[in-house]
Structure 1
Amino acid sequence: MTHINVLDPSASPLDYYGYELRRYREAAGLTQKQLGGIINYTGSLVGQIETARKLPTVEFSERVDVALETDGMLSRLLGLVLRSQLPAWFQQIAELEARATEICTFHTHLVHGLLQTEAYARAVLGSMDRSNLEDRTAVRLARQRILGKDEPPVLWAILGEAVLHQEIGGRETMRGQLVHLLTSEKDPRVNIQVLPYRAGAHAGLQGSFDLFHFPGDPAIVYTEGYGMGHPTANPETVRDCSLRYDHLQAAAMSIKDSAELIRDVMEERYGEQHTMA
């Protein structure tokens, strides 16, 4: 006799997803193996997702929605599922990203998560801990779904020049990451500026930070430490960081010149013609 793990759909978004997947599948009169065959996945994977032992992906959700005629329900639920898998201390920040109409970021040592490629994100997340790396990478990349919304936020990203030179994941990964940054050139809602070495002392020497702006609500500043985040709506802190950001934008290269520098570093440092001794 087969024992079926009965999920409590109120336990978590992942449990709710698994519960609904099973409900839709059984209503269609399909076994896990049969559904897997239709969507080109194994029945075992369907079972793991139904029992909340495996995270669903965008592709999986879209295929199931079509196969089971769910009117896109699982795809809509996926964002909540993946956000719930973020570290507890970061979940509030992902919610701020999803609600903000404008996001201003300044990072000194790595590309912001909203702009990372899959390979770059995997290298960052796996630098000290490779457990569940594929799932953790998928969860990070899921945050980028906000940039594809019907009304996405305006993203301003200032990167320290060192970000372009810090070789994370190897030359191929870095080249792909810089190519990805350049894809924003024609998108007025994604604006990337580089703070060059020649800027010297600047307003961001105290460290990286993000500013979130909302319609009708106070702005929020977010800074990050080891294994913890610090969001605050303290008016004095927000004013100080907003002023700092204005000065950083003034000291940074223009969007056009930043793209040219990114392209130059990409070709000179990570180009295919470059060989290691």
Structure 2
Amino acid sequence: MANIRDLDPSASPLDYYGAELRRFREAAGLNQQQLGEIIYCTGSLIGQIETARKLPTREFTQRVDAALGTEGALLRLLKLVLRSQLPSWFQPYAEMEARATHIYTFQAQLVHGLLQTTEYARAVLGAMHEDRLDERVAARIERQRILERENPPLVWVVLSEAVLCQGIGGRKVMRNQLAHLLDSREREWVRIQVLPFEAGAHAGLLGSFNILRFDDDPDIVYTEDYGTGQMTANPVEAKARSLRYDHLQAAALSVEASAGLIARVMEERYGEERP
């Protein structure tokens, strides 16, 4: 078993979290087994997290904060821990996404990460390899917490109809994912349009992209490739991409008609199988 004294708390947010958990636990006069009994987990799990061998969950952190009276210190640190689990090339975008007041996105193949269910995200992220899959899924889902803020960003999504038809993860996963898109309509700051196949040639044929807008900073355009992401605040590019997005919105179904199409695909394509 790794010795936490051999770990460098400055090596990573995960190492720092483990060191702080140990410090708070020892200050409370508890050993790992005693703390585990209080928060309904094993002492072994406490040890794995303290030695940075396992990623803490939000539920675990909330229980530890309450048990040790840390006033949310570990929960605040957890945000950095989960952010660090994102690919290094994606982290700068995630930081800007968390600051944006408006997020506009066109998605040609996948549901946007901010609207993915846990099961859908697991199927997407595990398509090529499953190493650290739990950690990567947790980091993606954590990004969605910006939608639960007191003052969340406006998120406007245009999805190609192909996104609804691509059976990521199987029938049940897709049914739940489309139901989640429909449920997202309850949030007044989330709007979803579907670009139907009937639209033919359209302004998004070259691929998916995001536009981030801020109160006091220039717009940012983000595009993604295999294992890389590109951000630019070039005003010429931002204006051109905004025009392209306007064309996509105009060619897409209305928000109401899009919800109807999503519901229809959910039932006809992913409905309960009958004998």
* TM-score, normalising length: structure 1: 0.96
Report the alpha carbon displacement of residue 10 of structure 1 after superposing the two structures with TM: 2.3
2:94 & 2:14 partners in 1: Cα distance? 17
1:97 & 1:133 partners in 2: Cα distance? 22
Aligned residues: 274
1:47 & 1:83 partners in 2: Cα distance? 22
1:100 & 1:6 partners in 2: Cα distance? 39
Secondary structure at the residue paired with 2:105? strand
**Is contact 1:62–1:75 with CA below 8 Å preserved after alignment?**
yes
2:268 & 2:202 partners in 1: Cα distance? 27
Alignment of 1:91-170 (within 5 A): 91-170=91-170
Q: Is 1:228 equivalent to 2:228 in the alignment?
A: yes
1:241 & 1:274 partners in 2: Cα distance? 45
Structure 2 partner of 1:203? 203
2:188 & 2:12 partners in 1: Cα distance? 37
Structure 2 partner of 1:238? 238
Question: What is the letter of the counterpart of residue 170 of structure 1?
Answer: G
Identify the range of structure 1 (2-11 vs 103-112) with the bigger mean alpha-carbon deviation.
Answer: 2-11
Report the alpha carbon displacement of residue 96 of structure 1 after superposing the two structures with TM: 1.1
Secondary structure at the residue paired with 1:192? strand
Q: 1:4 to 1:75 in 2, by over 3 A?
A: closer
1:4 & 1:214 partners in 2: Cα distance? 42
Question: What is the letter of the counterpart of residue 113 of structure 1?
Answer: G
2:4 & 2:159 partners in 1: Cα distance? 50
* Structure 1: runs of 5 or more not aligned: none
2:57 & 2:86 partners in 1: Cα distance? 15
Report the alpha carbon displacement of residue 265 of structure 1 after superposing the two structures with TM: 0.4
Report the alpha carbon displacement of residue 136 of structure 1 after superposing the two structures with TM: 1.3
Q: 1:115 to 1:274 in 2, by over 3 A?
A: farther
Structure 1 partner of 2:48? 48
Report the alpha carbon displacement of residue 16 of structure 1 after superposing the two structures with TM: 1.5
Report the alpha carbon displacement of residue 186 of structure 1 after superposing the two structures with TM: 2.0
What are the superposed Cα offsets for residues 188-226 of structure 1, whole Å, 9 maximum, x if unpaired?
111111001111111111110000111100010000011
**Is contact 2:4–2:50 with CA below 8 Å preserved after alignment?**
no
Secondary structure at the residue paired with 1:92? helix
Secondary structure at the residue paired with 1:105? strand
Q: 1:251 to 1:274 in 2, by over 3 A?
A: farther
2:217 & 2:87 partners in 1: Cα distance? 25
1:127 & 1:198 partners in 2: Cα distance? 29
**Is contact 1:7–1:15 with CA below 8 Å preserved after alignment?**
yes
Report the alpha carbon displacement of residue 3 of structure 1 after superposing the two structures with TM: 4.9
Report the alpha carbon displacement of residue 4 of structure 1 after superposing the two structures with TM: 4.2
Secondary structure at the residue paired with 2:266? helix
What are the superposed Cα offsets for residues 39-89 of structure 1, whole Å, 9 maximum, x if unpaired?
111111111111111111110111101111111111122111100111100
Q: 1:104 to 1:3 in 2, by over 3 A?
A: closer
**Is contact 2:4–2:19 with CA below 8 Å preserved after alignment?**
no
Q: Is 1:263 equivalent to 2:263 in the alignment?
A: yes
Question: What is the letter of the counterpart of residue 134 of structure 1?
Answer: D
**Is contact 2:9–2:19 with CA below 8 Å preserved after alignment?**
yes
* TM-score, normalising length: structure 2: 0.97
Structure 2 partner of 1:194? 194
Question: What is the letter of the counterpart of residue 163 of structure 2?
Answer: V
1:133 & 1:269 partners in 2: Cα distance? 28
Report the alpha carbon displacement of residue 8 of structure 1 after superposing the two structures with TM: 2.7
Question: What is the letter of the counterpart of residue 236 of structure 2?
Answer: E
2:97 & 2:46 partners in 1: Cα distance? 31
Secondary structure at the residue paired with 2:191? strand
Report the alpha carbon displacement of residue 274 of structure 1 after superposing the two structures with TM: 5.0
What are the superposed Cα offsets for residues 81-110 of structure 1, whole Å, 9 maximum, x if unpaired?
100111100001110111101100101111
Counting aligned pairs with the same residue, the percent is 65
1:76 & 1:4 partners in 2: Cα distance? 21
**Is contact 1:7–1:18 with CA below 8 Å preserved after alignment?**
no
**Is contact 1:62–1:72 with CA below 8 Å preserved after alignment?**
yes
